[in-house]
Structure 1
Amino acid sequence: MKKLLFILIILILTGLGAWFWVTGNNIPIVETVLNNLPFGSEENIQPTTDDQQPFGTDSQTQNEESGIQVSAAGKFIQISNAPVAGFVILKTVRYVDRATGHIYDFNFTTKEKIKITNQTLPKIYEARFKPDGNTVLFRYLKNDSDSVENLSLVLTPPKATSTSLFTITSTFLRGYTGPIVINSPFTNWAFSEGSKTVVYTKPQSDAPGYAYFTTANGGLSKILGPLNGLVVNVNSVGNRILYSYMEDGKTKLFAKNFTGGKVVKILPATLADKCAWSTKDAGSVMCAVPKDGIGMDEPENWYRGNTYFSDRIWLYDTDTEVAELIAESMNLDIYQPKLSPSEDYLVFIDRNDLSLWALKLE
């Protein structure tokens, strides 16, 4: 009996010692990984246990006046905790509140947000700004029906300094309103923005997809396909394209330079829609890559909101074929990423709750 008691005491002391050793050597998450990986490497970088910390813990502070949440390292900023319908990056971030249709400006420097319109237009499910931010297209369901209403708003800045509210001129868009971009009996198209318009068939993992440049007469010039689950992302100049597709149950990611025709495979792979091209460095593209990979029935399940990812942010140089891990994303599912004009911020929507975020890069 004494021998058994002695063994139990030894086991307990050993367990306590191991526990103190592990907790005493807990390594905090690192925002930037200094080592670069060449394209084609299958190396899997495992996150530390600290990357699960949500906002509301000691790792973040909150601006009491603006309600803006900032991580302790100052890297991730939650611009809006309410769902947004769309945004554009100017000197500020201009975005639309999904529930009310109100438009706000967020200042990167002061972390303040200002309401610039006060006209309530509820349940805006999509908002698309022109690059100058002074015109926005609202899309919403009319009277809770299945009928989609398109409303164009022109924003005029206030002349008086006593108010921050812009003057709004609104126009309902119905039927033909401008030049024909594409003339096709097939209606299930998606678009990639840039100086050259690229259209592609809406992606489905088990169906071949195609991508085309549009021509001046409304025709199509094929550039990619057939590739299952094809998603494309063209740069602003229109001379480089990032594309992802599904092959043998795995997502593949490639970049093509139309000048010279060079094609490079990119690893780790992600959906092309989760990337933003640099305008300062023509060959660079910043992407959100799911930590646990991408399943077989993608990207359609992700677009439908049936699956969600937790991402890391990578910077790919498609000229030197080098990949650099920039940051962990604290379980954010990054959607519609855009780089600020000076490329010191990456702004995006979290698909989990449609909140708006920014990642400070410099």
Structure 2
Amino acid sequence: MSKKTLIAVIIIVAVLVLVLGIFLLFFTSPVIQTTNTGLSPNSPFGNYGGSSSTTPITPTPTPDNGQANGPVTPYLNSPTSPLVKISTEPIAGAQVFDRKISGTTTASIVRYMERATGHVLEYNRTNNFLTTASNTTIPSIYQAWWSGNTVLAQFIGASKDTIRTFVGNLPSAPTSTTQLTGTFLNDNVSSLAISPKGNRMFTLGGGNFAIGNISSLDGTKPTSVLNFPFNEWAVEWPNETTLTLTTKPSAGIPGFMYFLTTTGFMTKVTGNIFGLSSRSSPDLGHAVLSASTNGGIATVIYDINKNTSLAFTDNPTLAEKCVWSKLSKTTAYCAIPQNIPIGNYPDDWYQGNVSFVDNIYKIDLTLPAVQLLYKLPSDQQIDVTNLFLDAKEENLYFTNKSDYYLWGLTIKNLTPTGQ
């Protein structure tokens, strides 16, 4: 064997050892799980039946009224109804903000982008008026993220195998004739998250090898924080200094959750859990975790610091159906299905094979309790996803996954059952 050949062999072996070492470091765990019919007692889920580290949250019975202290409140677009159907077409993404009207007077504005056209509309929650903020047509937007007057809109390019991401900007006072102007990011951004302050974004690209960058919203001033030989990540940015990376969930695949700091330091939170989805609290102290069971779903609130869990015993849901309060670190809001048919979750839900009919619940960790906040009208078949709150947390907004219409629920005067 020549000297050059020997050197080449040594280099190849070294690379293989390095890749194997990275895999073992990030994706292995002392907990070995070979089926998805149960979870190890060492996981945040215990063994589904409860363990020394898993405390059940006592469910609250679901009454037959629209809220705990009143009669059934059907969907009605009027100032007196807490529930309003906002959009007139399917949406790609939305935000809420306060706009100054005059002096100290403000109006709550819900801004969204339509999926089919890319048009931007604004709903004034104060007077129930819906107006057009941009008539620029960008067909077939499937996802949009908002930060102030900036929108990042994704669509499939003409080649059908390219993800395009357009960064558009609106003026402070847009009108129906406003043109959405902007630039494009590099193609094939597979995951994207905007910082809590709204001035930075994390993008994930690089094909099969994950390259994660933090940059300004227009893609300038990028800083590399992740280089990893795996690219199937669901990304959130709950805390200004820390992101969460969770492997994209599937019922037949063990999932892992990590914290990634904005300086590039990666820490494993939990893992080896089939169908794992997560939603982390802004203080990073807790996370809503959901997992695949044998034909169903298990849900817990995981105390990350104490390594203990509170289980949703009789009313599980998917973590994607939850949002954490930014004003109270012990409060979250979740949409919980009235019924969960046997299936492979979350796959069947993602693929549209199963749709849920949800109710809105408040999770209070000080009690602890999962309490009914509002029973959604069954005739609307609302399958809740993409939840977000306004700054005062007086209103909860969400998309109906069944048709992608945007809804809003005023929660400030609703009394959770059991309080």
TM over 0.5: yes
2-side partners of 1:361 and 1:260: how far apart? 31
Which of 136, 143, 153 is equivalent to 2:158? 143
One-letter amino acid matched to 1:100? T
Q: Give the one of 39, 42, 45 matched to 2:62.
A: 45
Question: What percent identity do the matched residue pairs reach?
Answer: 28
Which deviations, in whole Å up to 9, do the C-alpha atoms of 1:94-131 show, x marking residues without a partner? 1101111111121111111221112111111111112x
- Tell me by how many angstroms 1:250 deviates: 3.4
Equivalent residue in structure 2 for 1:235, among 272, 278, 281: 281
SS for the counterpart of 1:120 is: coil
How far apart in 2 are the matches of 1:208 and 1:360?
Answer: 38
The two structures have a TM-score, normalised by structure 1, of 0.77
Give the CA deviation at 1:264: 1.8
Tell me which of 170, 181, 202 is aligned to 1:169: 181
Q: 1:198–1:96: structure 2 CA closer, same or farther, 3 Å change rule?
A: same
Contact kept, 8 Å, 1:157 with 1:165, in 2: the verdict is: no
| 1:265 correspondence with 2:325 | no
User: Which residue identity lines up with residue 189 of structure 1 in the other structure?
Assistant: W
Q: 2:362 matched to which residue of 1? A: 315
User: What CA distance in whole angstroms lies between the structure 2 residues aligned with 1:41 and 1:308?
Assistant: 25
Aligned to 1:90: 97
Report deviation, 1:297.
0.3
- Name 1:127's counterpart in structure 2: 144
User: Which residue does the alignment assign to 2:216?
Assistant: none
Structure 1 residues 39 and 90, CA gap change in structure 2 (3 angstroms): farther
AA of the residue aligned to 1:169:
T
Displacement of 1:218: 3.3
Distance (Å, rounded) in 2 between the aligned partners of 1:345 and 1:215: 30
Q: Which residue of 2 aligns with 1:22?
A: none
Given residue 173 of structure 1, which amino acid in structure 2 is its aligned partner? Answer: L
What is the SS of the residue equivalent to 2:155?
A: strand
- Structure 2 counterpart of 1:74, from 81, 87, 104: 81
Q: Is the 8 A contact 1:83 1:99 kept in 2?
A: yes
2:406 matched to which residue of 1?
356
RMSD: 2.6
Report the 3-state secondary structure (helix = DSSP H, G, I; strand = E; otherwise coil) of the residue aligned with 1:301. helix
SS at match of 1:193: strand
Gaps of 5+ in 1: 1-37, 52-57, 62-68
Q: CA deviation at 1:295?
A: 3.3
Are residues 1:108 and 2:115 paired?
Answer: no
- The one-letter amino acid paired with 2:183 is T
Distance change >3 Å, CA 249–CA 179, structure 1 → 2: same
1:182 Cα deviation from its structure 2 partner: 2.4
Alpha-carbon separation, structure 1, partners of 2:186 and 2:74: 49
Work out the number of aligned pairs and report it. 305
Could you tell me which amino acid in structure 2 is paired with residue 228 of structure 1?
F
Kindly state the Cα deviation for residue 266 of structure 1 after the two structures are TM-superposed: 2.7
Q: For 1:275, which of 309, 319, 322 is the aligned residue?
A: 322
Q: Return 5+ residue gaps in structure 2 as ranges.
A: 1-54, 68-72, 99-108, 188-212, 214-218, 413-419
Q: For residue 390 of structure 2, what is the amino acid of its counterpart?
A: S
Q: Return the letter of the residue paired with 2:347.
A: E
Query: What's the TM-score once normalised by structure 2's chain length?
Result: 0.67
Mark the CA change 1:314 to 1:306 in structure 2 (over 3 Å): closer, same or farther: same
Task: Return the alpha-carbon distance in structure 1 between the equivalents of residues 92 and 262 of structure 2.
Answer: 31
Select between 249-258 and 90-99 the one with higher mean Cα deviation: 249-258
Q: Aligned pair in 2 of structure 1 residues 250, 40: CA closer, same or farther (>3 Å)?
A: farther
Q: Does 1:179 align with 2:223?
A: yes
Contact preservation (8 Å) 2:58, 2:312: no
Pairwise CA distance, 1:248 = 3.8
Distance 1:348 1:213, change over 3 A: same
1:244 aligned counterpart, secondary structure = strand
Q: Work out the CA distance in 1 between the residues paired with 2:309 and 2:59.
A: 19
Partner Cα distance (1:45, 1:158) in 2: 44
Give CA-to-partner distance per residue, 1:60-114, whole Å, 9 cap, x none. Answer: 55xxxxxxx359x602100013100001121211110111111112111111122
